[in-house]
Amino acid sequence: MEHMDPATGPAVQIGRMLFTLVDPNPGHEVAYNRWYERDHFYAGCLIGPWLFAGGRWVATRALKNLRFPETSPFAEPVDAGSYLSIYWVLAGKEDEHFAWARRQVYWLYGQGRGFSERTHAHTKLYDFEGAVSAQPDGVPIELALDHRYGGLVVICSEPAGGSSHEELLAAAEPHVATLLQAPGMDLVSNWHFHVEEGDFQAPMQLGAEGGTDERLVQMGFVEGSPEPVWPAVRAYADAIDASGAGRVTFAAPFLPTIVGTDTYTDELW
Q: Is the peptide bond before 49 cis (omega within 30 degrees of 0)?
A: no
Position 1 scores a pLDDT of: 44
Contact 86, 8 (CB under 8 A): no
Is the confidence at residue 164, as pLDDT, over 60? yes
Q: How confident is the model at residue 224 (pLDDT cuts 50, 70, 90)?
A: very high
The alpha carbon dihedral of 118, 120, 126, 131 has a sign of: negative
For 105-159, write each residue's pLDDT tens digit: 999 999 999 999 999 999 999 999 999 999 999 999 999 999 999 999 999 999 9
For 26-78, write each residue's pLDDT tens digit: 999 999 999 999 999 999 999 999 999 999 999 999 999 999 999 999 999 99
Q: Is the peptide bond before 69 cis (omega within 30 degrees of 0)?
A: yes
Is the confidence at residue 7, as pLDDT, over 60? no
Contact 246, 171 (CB under 8 A): yes
Please give the distance of CA 56 from its chain centroid, rounded to a whole number. 10
Position 6 scores a pLDDT of: 52
For 103-116, write each residue's pLDDT tens digit: 999 999 999 999 99
Contact 123, 22 (CB under 8 A): yes
Residue 32 carries which DSSP code?
H
> Residue 122: exposed, middle, or buried by beta-carbon count in 10 A (0-12, 13-18, 19+)?
buried
Query: Which domains are present in the chain?
Result: 3-256 (3.30.70.100)
Angle at 120 between CA 142 and CA 83, to 5 degrees: 50
Strand spans (E) along the chain: 3-4, 14-24, 51-58, 83-90, 118-133, 151-159, 185-193, 216-222, 246-256
Position 257 scores a pLDDT of: 98
Please state the φ and ψ torsions of residue 218, each to the nearest 5 degrees. -120, 140
Is the confidence at residue 4, as pLDDT, over 70? no
Contact 109, 203 (CB under 8 A): yes
In angstroms, the Cα distances linking 259 to 18, 34, 89, 264, 268 are 20, 10, 22, 11, 17
Q: How confident is the model at residue 2 (pLDDT cuts 50, 70, 90)?
A: very low
Q: How confident is the model at residue 10 (pLDDT cuts 50, 70, 90)?
A: low
pTM of the model: 0.94
Share the mean pLDDT of the chain.
94
